Structure 1
């Protein structure tokens, strides 16, 4: 019995000791697990903080890039709006100038009408005086006939006619000589006044010729993007536009080189748009070049239409208007051909109105006289012949085609052609319009002053001969 009791007590003690050991092991094991969980939570929190910091830096960088792009777009839009405002102001100034010129023309026409009325009254007075002289002569002749009554009626009539013819021829010779001397004396002064009036009443800005165009870049890093990997972007630009893209050490700028100004303008717009857009690759380059070609085509049409409207020449064929607009991108001896054509049209109009020629024909001939230069690099032959052929094919008046064809000839078949040739020479010889010296300008102006004197004398002699025939 004692041994069984001891065994039972020992068993109970063993169980209690095992439970105590198990409780202590569970307690310490739980503490270890909690420490491991806490360490893992700390590591995860640190990783989350690092991820948040990376995302924050990425958001800041993206925000800066968007702000830079927004600023670039805003500056480009501001420049475009300023340019549009300047163009609008220029158009308004041109319209005001047209209104003033038309008002001046109306005043001049009113003065001419007044002068014509005075001349008509003077002619009527001279006619009345001449009639009185004829009546007096008739009475005198009748008196003589009565004195020599032995003459037959036929002989008397013949003697009367012969006497009248002698008197009239003598009077006409005296008047012709006086008129010729007066015309010769006044021709020089009148030619000088006409040329001075035409030159002083018209002045235009002159644009210098350039075979290169510079495009500004936001930074030098953009040069590498324009070149592209292994030069594929620069090759794509040159192939699509036909323009050489020169990238050198010039800071924040690239140069476009081409003798065709239209192609150079297309390339300038395309490169500017590519730089603003930021996406530069061959497919995007082709898209931008196509868009630029369309924009330049619209600008060409607009320029031709505005030039015709400014001068006052209407009813031109659309193809003629487009060719006229292309002259905006053509230069001759450093002078913009479209501006030169507008200037020649104004000068031709003024000179024609002064000498009594057809103002509309002279004005249209002056505007279109260099039309052939728009195609002179595509069609063989002198630009005057090319322009005359094109104008003739598009139903331009024959007199205007003559002005175009003969504006560089030594002999002209019409007064208007002579006027257009003179206006062309005056515009080209004006200091500042071309690369030349003032001394050469003065020499050419004196030569054309003499030509103007010959023109005035020729017109005066023609008018006198017509008056003599009518008499």
Structure 2
């Protein structure tokens, strides 16, 4: 019990001591807090005073700037008003001066008008006096000459008319002579200018093409066993194959450029492939023929691009490409047409005509030479009918028709085409008559052979010394073949003028094919 009392007493004493200490510490904290609060309040009041002063300064500064701005605007408006006032004063002064000038001019006009009236009156008086004097002089002249004034006037008019006619005739003659002289000089200048601008590497068509070989061993494969391959190649292509000592090359000879080109492409394909035998030769030749349309189109497009012509139909482009394998008097027809086109374009430009139409007409003027069923006599009409369906310009159509036909030209363009044609043909070395007669003779040999029934193909080879004819085996037997050779030889002797003996070879082949 005593322990509990002691503990209780200790607790009470401790509580009292704690309360006393806490009271003392609380008073000190309160005093410190009051001091801090007073310090914070003083600092806040100081900050407020400073902020207030700053705001007042900013407001004063802004008010000052606004005042300055208003004063500047006021000064500017005042200056503007002064300027307007000065302008108005200047205008008033100008108006006053102009009014004075107008008044002065009115006075001058009045004075001038009065002077003019006086002069007019004086001139009228003089005119009357002159008319009276002229009338008196005319009466005296009539009395002296015995002619009335009307008769004298008629005589004078007749004399003047006759003199004017003589002078006019002389002037017309002089102008005509000058025009003729100038026309000749101008025509000579234009043609020479056109010829100078055309740089044409003209080449004479050859009858031989060269095929390069990778080695001379290939010649043996081309000839084949006992000449089997070379004979098959000549029969299929219709050209002569010349195998001589020329290193790594064989020659293909034929007067027809198209036939020779087919043979060349076939030979190149066989050499590249390496397989050469009769069946492969026929296959390669047929393949080349089937691809020639694309080849013609490529040639035509290249030619048109070089001379700056576009917009032709594909059929015209292909047909134009065929002209590369046509020659006339030893002159390549496509090269000739290109030259005529360029010359006609230059001549048209010199004469202020449509150069594009002239070039189009020039490149197409001989297209009828390769149109089916056309010949030398009607190629212009055939070419006209061929291109007409593709909607070409009527001037171009007329130029094509007028070149080889008697159709009248409807514009100067056809005449320019004929002039360009003459320039191209008459150049030294452009044409060779001997080659043309040679080609015509070989064509005549083939035409004579083709006129017989049963003839499938005929080829004039060996420079016209042999005609090789391929016939259908089911239309002729051996006896008929012998008789056909005799008949063809007789017709050739009758129709073709030749001093040499011509060999007629009939080839009749029967082939059976089967597959195992």
TM-score (norm 2): 0.48
The C-alpha deviation readout for 1:353-406, integer Å capped at 9, x for no partner, is 222333333221111111122247865743323222222233332221221222
1:412 touches 1:418 (CA, 8 Å); kept in 2? no
2:374 touches 2:382 (CA, 8 Å); kept in 1? no
Deviation at 1:213, TM superposition (A): 1.5
Counterpart residue number, 1:319: 315
Aligned positions of 1:96-135 closer than 5 A: none
Q: Which residue of the other structure, out of 189, 192, 199, is the alignment partner of 2:195?
A: 199
3-state SS of paired residue (1:407): helix
Q: Sort the Cα spacing of 1:378 and 1:419 in 2 relative to 1 into closer, same or farther, 3 A.
A: closer
Q: Which residue of the other structure, out of 285, 308, 316, is the alignment partner of 2:281?
A: 285
State the alpha-carbon separation in 1 of the partners of residues 374 and 192 from structure 2.
Answer: 38
Q: Sort the Cα spacing of 1:252 and 1:360 in 2 relative to 1 into closer, same or farther, 3 A.
A: closer
Counterpart residue number, 2:221: 225
Q: Which residue of the other structure, out of 333, 350, 365, is the alignment partner of 2:346?
A: 350
1:376 touches 1:383 (CA, 8 Å); kept in 2? no
1:302 and 2:277 correspond: no
Deviation at 1:335, TM superposition (A): 1.8
Counterpart residue number, 1:367: 363
Larger Rg belongs to: 2
1:349 touches 1:363 (CA, 8 Å); kept in 2? yes
The C-alpha deviation readout for 1:73-114, integer Å capped at 9, x for no partner, is xxxxxxxxxxxxxxxxxxxxxxxxxxxxxxxxxxxxxxxxxx
Deviation at 1:204, TM superposition (A): 1.0
1:388 touches 1:405 (CA, 8 Å); kept in 2? yes
1:428 and 2:456 correspond: no
3-state SS of paired residue (1:321): helix
Greater relative contact order: 1 or 2 (C-alpha under 8 angstroms, separation 6 or more)?
Answer: 1
Aligned positions of 1:248-263 closer than 5 A: 248=244, 250=246, 252-263=248-259
State the alpha-carbon separation in 1 of the partners of residues 423 and 408 from structure 2.
Answer: 17
Q: Sort the Cα spacing of 1:194 and 1:412 in 2 relative to 1 into closer, same or farther, 3 A.
A: farther
2:323 touches 2:370 (CA, 8 Å); kept in 1? yes
State the alpha-carbon separation in 2 of the partners of residues 209 and 358 from structure 1.
Answer: 33
State the alpha-carbon separation in 1 of the partners of residues 433 and 374 from structure 2.
Answer: 28
Q: Which residue of the other structure, out of 405, 411, 416, is the alignment partner of 1:419?
A: 416
Greater helix fraction, Structure 1 or Structure 2: 1
1:209 touches 1:332 (CA, 8 Å); kept in 2? no
2:371 touches 2:386 (CA, 8 Å); kept in 1? no
State the alpha-carbon separation in 2 of the partners of residues 249 and 338 from structure 1.
Answer: 34
State the alpha-carbon separation in 2 of the partners of residues 380 and 266 from structure 1.
Answer: 24
The C-alpha deviation readout for 1:179-214, integer Å capped at 9, x for no partner, is 433322211100110110000011111122122222
State the alpha-carbon separation in 2 of the partners of residues 351 and 394 from structure 1.
Answer: 26
State the alpha-carbon separation in 2 of the partners of residues 303 and 172 from structure 1.
Answer: 60
State the alpha-carbon separation in 1 of the partners of residues 376 and 348 from structure 2.
Answer: 32
Moved more, 308-317 or 203-212: 308-317
What RMSD, in angstroms, separates the aligned Cα atoms of the two structures?
Answer: 3.6
2:322 touches 2:370 (CA, 8 Å); kept in 1? yes
Q: Which residue of the other structure, out of 167, 176, 183, is the alignment partner of 1:180?
A: 176
Deviation at 1:297, TM superposition (A): 3.1
3-state SS of paired residue (1:214): strand
1:329 and 2:329 correspond: no
2:379 touches 2:404 (CA, 8 Å); kept in 1? no
3-state SS of paired residue (2:209): strand
Deviation at 1:292, TM superposition (A): 3.0
The C-alpha deviation readout for 1:399-442, integer Å capped at 9, x for no partner, is 212212222467852421111001001011112323389xxxxx
In structure 2, stretches of 5+ residues that fail to align are 1-130, 136-153, 435-516
The C-alpha deviation readout for 1:23-74, integer Å capped at 9, x for no partner, is xxxxxxxxxxxxxxxxxxxxxxxxxxxxxxxxxxxxxxxxxxxxxxxxxxxx
Counterpart residue number, 1:405: 401
In structure 1, stretches of 5+ residues that fail to align are 1-143, 149-158, 438-471
Aligned positions of 1:229-244 closer than 5 A: 229-244=225-240
Q: Which residue of the other structure, out of 267, 271, 286, is the alignment partner of 2:263?
A: 267
TM-score (norm 1): 0.52
Counterpart residue number, 1:452: none
Deviation at 1:178, TM superposition (A): 5.4
State the alpha-carbon separation in 1 of the partners of residues 232 and 316 from structure 2.
Answer: 33
Deviation at 1:304, TM superposition (A): 0.7
Deviation at 1:174, TM superposition (A): 7.7
Aligned positions of 1:426-465 closer than 5 A: 426-435=423-432
